[in-house]
């Protein structure tokens, strides 16, 4: 684990410790002890992935790749700038010349919940995706072809949505999906019927990429397992923790998350008692009975993964009803995905409130990872809030498609088929706001750094913020490809 204390919120120069992210990136280039792509990935897999990345850069800039080129690529430096430099030097650079590019925009079908209690997720995902669309189209699209993302509301029927997007709208690529249950149901449709690449950017079940490899389905989202694994490592190191309680939604997402907490706490802290879970039906926001039960049980730590409107309700009522007089720590897996809902009245005066969310706006640090700086700045300027992870993963998915298509076209000399795009997504390393994301070839799971941070009050009138970052490189957080601590159903 990389521990960062009192992360700077105001944009000044970051402490020297942040240079560690540079070391992580450099380790991808020059050292096979790298932790960034670990998690059961063998040396040969890492070498293969980096070889692909190196070849991608050579194809993109038309010259032998240097360590600086690799760092620029993984940190998201614009390849348009690189192409300009190379062209000025008189080096031939691959372009769409000689490649027959299909007429009209490349249509990419997406679905998220755009209405109802979960509609905030779809709204935020769409905002992040729009930033990527604008950037890509402003820089010539994909081989000169503009992209057009078509949105559907997941609440209207996920299977019908994807079928219509492919068969009626003519979408050649798919992305999105909020619900884990929907993603699991869609996977066989994607694989056996539609047969087009699909990047899942939200649904967090570890089951989606466990046990058997997909052909067309990929994930650029952090599933729940590395988040829970990291939290349990932190809890195991805390003093005087004897009992841990769990509060979650009463459906598969809550049930699986409790099972993961139980498994990893038993692994790292076998002497800690894991209490029976408390499950709350979706849509119910009165937590009085649950808080009374927790106060009676007197856990030292509460772990939770409640989300949406239930999360601020639980946090407010916990503070109002004296739960913090009993507990010392509360870990919520979704907290940093809800910045727009957080207020001071949710942050305790005593005890520590910890949040994750599969991406945090302040990691990687902005002076070290300029892509994250640009993304956060654009998002805040457009939408007046910090970007949550669904915005970051949707943004990154479009760049993954762009990279795979351009790499395939450069190698094949033609616009790639759906099957060929899927092939070139395998093993891809793509820069995102969250840092480099590696789409592991063995399971198609995109892996990247897991982060927890303590939520604290800021000056009056300002939104609470994150500090005391706890950073877990992918090699420490993810299980090996195709593996999970969950039992197969």
Summarised one tens digit per residue, pLDDT across range 268-301 is 999 999 999 999 998 899 999 999 999 999 999 9
CA nearest to 401, candidates 81, 109, 23: 109
User: How many other C-beta atoms are found inside a 10 Å radius of the C-beta of residue 1?
Assistant: 14
Instruction: Please write the tens of the pLDDT for every residue from 381-429.
Output: 999 988 999 999 999 999 999 999 999 999 999 999 999 999 999 999 9
- pLDDT value, residue 104: 95
Q: State pTM to two decimals.
A: 0.81
Instruction: Please report, for residues 3, 24, 179, 272, the alpha-carbon distance to residue 204 in angstroms, rounded to integers and kept in the order given.
Output: 25, 25, 8, 26
Residues of the chain with pLDDT > 70, as a percent, come to 80
447 three-state secondary structure: strand
Burial per residue of 261-270, b for 16 or more beta-carbon CB atoms within 10 angstroms, e otherwise? bbbbbeeebe
Q: Which of 18-32, 213-227, 325-339 has the highest mean pLDDT?
A: 213-227
Q: Are residues 204 and 334 in the same domain?
A: no
Quick check: is 166 in a domain? Answer: yes
CA nearest to 125, candidates 374, 387, 444: 387
Q: Are residues 111 and 210 in the same domain?
A: yes
Which residues are within 8 A (CB) of 296 and not within 5 positions of it... i.e. 6 or more apart? none
Element housing 131 (H / E): helix 119-138
- pLDDT value, residue 89: 37
Cβ pair 175, 447 in contact under 8 A: no
CA nearest to 51, candidates 450, 441, 393, 401: 441
- pLDDT value, residue 461: 65
Stretch 91-111: mean pLDDT? 78
Q: Are residues 207 and 315 in the same domain?
A: no
Q: How many CA atoms lie within 13 A of 448 on its CB side?
A: 30
116 three-state secondary structure: coil
Q: Are residues 238 and 342 in the same domain?
A: yes
Which letter does DSSP use for residue 308 in this model? Answer: T
394 three-state secondary structure: helix
- pLDDT value, residue 194: 98
Q: Are residues 325 and 349 in the same domain?
A: yes
- The distance from CA 243 to its chain's CA centroid, rounded to whole angstroms, is 30
Sign (positive/negative) of CA torsion 260, 314, 433, 184? positive
Which residues are within 8 A (CB) of 447 and not within 5 positions of it... i.e. 6 or more apart? 37, 39, 226, 437, 438, 440, 474, 478
Cβ pair 318, 290 in contact under 8 A: no
- pLDDT value, residue 118: 81
Q: Are residues 352 and 473 in the same domain?
A: yes
Instruction: Please write the tens of the pLDDT for every residue from 442-477.
Output: 999 999 999 999 988 887 767 788 889 999 999 999
169: containing domain: 106-222+365-398
Quick check: is 19 in a domain? Answer: no
* Number of structural domains in the chain: 2
Quick check: is 28 in a domain? Answer: no
* Dist CA 199 CA 110 (whole Å): 9
Stretch 364-370: mean pLDDT? 92
Tokens of 414: 């033609």
Q: Are residues 309 and 163 in the same domain?
A: no
- pLDDT value, residue 169: 97
Task: Give backbone dihedrals phi and psi of 329, rounded to 5 degrees, phi first.
Answer: -140, 145
* Dist CA 487 CA 351 (whole Å): 34
Kind of pairing between the strands at 198-200 and 217-219: parallel
- pLDDT value, residue 220: 98
Q: Are residues 353 and 209 in the same domain?
A: no
User: How many other C-beta atoms are found inside a 10 Å radius of the C-beta of residue 123?
Assistant: 17
* Dist CA 369 CA 73 (whole Å): 11
Residue 199, strand partner residues: 175, 218
pLDDT band at 357 (very low <50, low <70, confident <90, very high): confident
Q: Are residues 256 and 129 in the same domain?
A: no
Quick check: is 331 in a domain? Answer: yes
Tokens of 196: 């087009």
Q: Render 18-48 in DSSP notation, one character per residue.
A: GGHHHHHHHHHHH-TT-STT-SS--HHHHHH
Instruction: Please write the tens of the pLDDT for every residue from 318-340.
Output: 999 999 999 999 999 988 777 77
Quick check: is 424 in a domain? Answer: no
* Dist CA 284 CA 476 (whole Å): 36
**CATH code, 235:** 3.40.50.2300
Quick check: is 60 in a domain? Answer: no
Quick check: is 53 in a domain? Answer: no
User: How many other C-beta atoms are found inside a 10 Å radius of the C-beta of residue 17?
Assistant: 15
Task: Give backbone dihedrals phi and psi of 26, rounded to 5 degrees, phi first.
Answer: -65, -35
Q: Are residues 254 and 142 in the same domain?
A: no
Q: Are residues 171 and 262 in the same domain?
A: no
Tokens of 173: 């690529």
- The distance from CA 195 to its chain's CA centroid, rounded to whole angstroms, is 24
- pLDDT value, residue 117: 76
* Dist CA 144 CA 146 (whole Å): 7
Kind of pairing between the strands at 435-439 and 429-432: antiparallel
Q: Are residues 317 and 383 in the same domain?
A: no
Element housing 297 (H / E): helix 288-297
Residue 70, pLDDT > 80, answer: no
202 three-state secondary structure: coil
Among 246-250, 260-264, 384-388, 432-436, name the one with the lowest average pLDDT.
384-388
Quick check: is 36 in a domain? Answer: no
């Amino acid at each position: 684990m990389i521990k960062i204390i009192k992360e700077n919120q105001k944009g000044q120069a970051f402490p020297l410790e942040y240079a560690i992210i540079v070391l992580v990136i450099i380790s991808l280039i020059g050292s096979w002890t790298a932790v960034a792509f670990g998690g059961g990935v063998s040396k040969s897999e890492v070498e293969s992935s980096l070889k692909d990345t190196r070849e991608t850069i050579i194809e993109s800039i038309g010259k032998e790749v240097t360590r600086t080129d690799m760092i620029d690529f993984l940190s998201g430096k614009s390849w348009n700038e690189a192409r300009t430099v190379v062209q000025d030097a008189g080096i031939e650079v691959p372009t769409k010349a000689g490649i027959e590019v299909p007429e009209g925009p490349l249509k990419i079908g997406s679905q998220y919940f755009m209405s109802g209690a979960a509609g905030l997720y779809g709204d935020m995902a769409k905002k992040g995706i729009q930033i990527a669309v604008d950037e890509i189209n402003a820089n010539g699209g994909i081989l000169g072809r503009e992209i057009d993302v078509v949105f559907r509301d997941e609440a209207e029927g996920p299977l019908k949505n994807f079928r219509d997007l492919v068969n009626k709208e003519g979408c050649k690529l798919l992305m999105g999906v909020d619900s884990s249950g929907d993603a699991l149901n869609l996977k066989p449709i994607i694989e056996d019927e539609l047969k087009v690449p699909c990047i899942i950017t939200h649904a967090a079940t570890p089951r989606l990429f466990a046990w058997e490899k997909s052909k067309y389905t990929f994930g650029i989202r952090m599933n729940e397992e590395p988040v829970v694994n990291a939290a349990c490592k932190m809890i195991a190191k805390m003093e005087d923790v004897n009992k841990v309680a769990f509060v979650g939604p009463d459906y598969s997402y809550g049930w699986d998350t409790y099972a993961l907490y139980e498994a990893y706490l038993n692994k790292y802290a076998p002497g800690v008692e894991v209490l029976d879970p408390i499950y709350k039906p979706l849509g119910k926001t009165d937590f009085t009975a649950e808080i009374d039960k927790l106060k009676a049980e007197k856990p030292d730590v509460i772990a939770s993964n409640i989300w949406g409107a239930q999360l601020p309700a639980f946090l407010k009522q916990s503070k109002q009803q004296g739960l913090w007089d009993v507990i010392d720590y509360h870990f919520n897996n979704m907290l940093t995905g809800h910045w727009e809902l957080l207020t001071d009245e949710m942050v305790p005066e005593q005890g520590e409130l910890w949040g994750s969310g599969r991406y945090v706006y302040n990691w990687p640090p902005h002076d070290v990872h300029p892509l994250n700086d640009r993304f956060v700045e654009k998002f805040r300027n457009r939408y007046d809030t910090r970007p949550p992870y669904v915005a970051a993963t949707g943004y990154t998915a479009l760049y993954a498609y762009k990279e795979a298509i351009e790499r395939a076209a450069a190698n094949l000399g033609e616009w790639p088929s759906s099957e060929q795009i899927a092939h070139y997504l395998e093993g891809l390393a793509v820069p995102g706001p969250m840092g480099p994301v590696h789409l592991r070839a063995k399971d198609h799971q995109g892996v990247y750094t897991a982060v927890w941070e303590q939520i604290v009050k800021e000056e009056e009138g300002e939104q609470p913020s994150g500090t005391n970052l706890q950073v877990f490189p992918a090699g420490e957080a993810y299980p090996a490809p195709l593996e999970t601590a969950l039992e197969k159903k």
